[in-house]
Structure 1
C-alpha cells in the first residue's frame, strides 16, 4: 500500500473517532418518576433498560432528544415509540409539536403506560409533560410546573421552553396559528434557522403565507394593493403590528391579550409576514421586494439584520412595504362565486 493510501485511511479513522455516539456519554443510572398513573418522566438510561420498562408496564416511549433510541428498544414487540429531534437550547421549537406529543401521551396512558424522556429528564421531556398536564387539566404554566415538580423535583425547562409554555397557556392550550404572538414566534424560529443554513428550511415554510390575490370563497375585505398596477399584495391579517420606539417581542402577552384597537400602533411602515409571491424570501438572507405584476419596488426584507422603522422601532426579521408604494382598499375582487 502506498504511503498516500495509508495516510488517507488513517485520516478516515481519525475522523470517525471524532464522531460522538451515544456510547461516548453517560446519562447515569436509570431514573424515572411517575407524574400520574400511566405517565412516567425519566432519563435516557431508563428508556433503554428493558427491566425498567417491563417493571412499570411501559409500552409507549416518547423520546425528546438529539438522537433516537437504539433499535433494540424501537424494535421491541408491543412497544410504540415516537422520536422528536430536539437539542436543549432556548431557540429550539417545542411549542409547534405540543399537539402531537400530547396526543401520543394520551394514547399511551389509555393503552398502558408511557415514558417521556430526554437525556437527563430535566428540560426537554419535562417541557413536553408540563404542556400535556396544562392541556389535560386546563392549568396555568405555574400550576402545571408545580404539579410535575412535586413528582420529579429536578425538572427545569430552559428559559426558551418556559416562554413557549407561557404562550401555550395564552393560546388556551392549543396551537393557534392565527394568533399574532404565535406568528411572531414562528418568524423568530424561522429567522434562527435561516441564520444557520442561509436559506429557509422546509420545516419553516409555514411562515410564508398564501398569496392574498388568489381567488377564494371568503376573501378578506381589507387589502393592500400596488399603487401602480393595483395588484393585491397583502391582506390586513398579514400585517404585524408594532408600537413606536418599541421592539416587538413574541414573548409579550399584550399582542394576544390586549385590545390592539386601543393601542397606539405605528403606520409609518407596513411590516408584513413573508408572502408566497415574494419569491426571493425563501432563497436569500435579505433583498428588495418587487410587485410580482409590474415589478415596481414595494419594500425590502431581511432575515438577519432586520429593519428600523422611522418611528424608532427595530423589527427583526423584517418584511416591509413602503406606504407610499401601496394603497389600501376594501373593494372585494378576488371572490370565488359558488352556486
Structure 2
C-alpha cells in the first residue's frame, strides 16, 4: 500500500473539505489500470497526475469538491451511498462495471470511498466477479491480496453473493432481487414515510391489464371477480420461517415435502392498483373495482402469518376474500 501524509492547507495540490478526516493518502494497485483507495487519494492532484489517473469513481455520501470535478482531464462517476448494510449498492454494479471497464481501456481508474475499505472495495470485487466470471470468494481474495484491509460490510457481502447467484448480472425478474429491492424500499419508507421515486420499481404492473403473455393463474376478488394479483406476484413462505432474499434456497418450491408452502395468508408484491401503498406506511387493501376490503399492508411493521412466519414489509390478501382462477382468457380484461 502506498501512502503519504496529508499536506498543509497552504499546498496548492491538497484540497480539503470541512468534514475531511480520512487519514493520510493511501491507495493500492489492484491490477494494471485500476487503483483502490481512500478519499484523501482522490483529492490529491499531485498523486493523481503521478499515477496518470484520469477516471475517478466515488462511492461516498457526498461527491468530490468541485475543484476536482472540474479538472478537464478527469472523468468522474458518483454513487451516493453510506456505509450501512441496508444500503443498495447492488443496483449500481452494472453502471460501475461499464465505467471502470471504459476507464481501463482509456486510461487509469481510481475507485474510492471514505476509507477505501467497504463501499469502494465492494464495487471492485463486483467488477472482478463479472470481468473474470469468478465467485465472490475468489474475487474477494484477489482484491484483498492487493489491499489487505478491504472488508465489505455484511449487507454488501450479501449483495455480492446474490450478484453471484444471478450470474454476475442484474436480473430484475429474479425473485430474490425483487425481495431485496422491497427491503431497500421499506428502509427508505421508514425514513421519509412515503415510497421514494427511486423505489417505484418495486411496484409491479396491474395483472388485470391486457398483456401479451398473461399469467394463467390469478387471484380474483370474491365479490366482483376483478383480477387483483397473479401467481407470479406471490411471495411464498414456509410455516414459522421468515422469508429473506439472503437465503440461497429462497423462494421455497411447491413440491418440497420437508418444507411445504403455507397458504394461510397470501403475501404478494405491491401492485400499481394499490394507490395507498405509494403514500402511506400502512393501511388496508381494497378491491379497486368494488371497494371490498381484501387485505392489508405495512411497510415497516410487517405482518405475522397465523403459521408463525413474520414477513416485512408485508402486502397480503386474505384467502377468504379472493379466489383462484386459471382461465387464460379471463386475464384479458381492462380495469
In structure 1, the partner of 2:115 is 120
Which residue does 1:275 correspond to in 2?
271
RMSD: 1.4
1:255 aligns to what SS in structure 2? Answer: coil
State yes or no: 1:201 paired with 2:209. no
Deviation at 1:260, TM superposition (A): 5.0
Residue 290, structure 1, aligned to residue 291, structure 2: no
- C-alpha distance in structure 2 between counterparts of 1:46 and 1:64, whole Å: 13
Query: Residues 168 and 260 from structure 1, CA distance in 2 versus in 1: closer, same or farther, beyond 3 angstroms?
Result: farther
CA contact 2:117–2:150 (8 Å) conserved in 1:
yes
TM-score (norm 2): 0.91
* Correspondence 1:171 to 2:166: yes
Q: Indicate the residue corresponding to 2:39 in structure 1.
A: 44
Residues 141-180 of structure 1 correspond to what in structure 2 (within 5 A)? 141-180=136-175
Identify the residue that residue 298 of structure 2 maps to in structure 1: 302
Once residues 255 and 41 of structure 2 are traced to their aligned partners in structure 1, the CA distance between those partners, rounded to angstroms, is: 52
Residue 249 of structure 1, CA deviation: 1.3
- Where 2:53 maps in the other structure, the secondary structure is coil
Counterpart of 1:5? Answer: none
**Structure 1 gap segments, 5+ residues each:** 1-20
CA distance in 2, matches of 1:260, 1:330: 17
Matched position secondary structure for 2:52: coil
- What TM-score, normalized to structure 1? 0.90
Q: Which aligned pairs between 1:1-339 and structure 2 lie closer than 5 A?
A: 22-255=17-250, 259-262=253-256, 263-332=259-328, 333-335=330-332
Once the 2 structures are TM-superposed, how far is the Cα of residue 335 of structure 1 from its aligned partner? 4.1
* CA–CA separation in structure 2 for the residues paired with 1:259 and 1:57: 52
3-state SS in 2 of match to 1:187: helix
C-alpha displacement of 1:259: 4.8
- SS, match of residue 275 in structure 1: coil
Larger helix share, 1 or 2:
1
> Contact 1:233–1:291 (CA<8 Å) still a contact in 2?
yes
State the number of aligned residues: 315
Change (3 A) 1:299 1:25: same
**1:16 counterpart residue number:** none
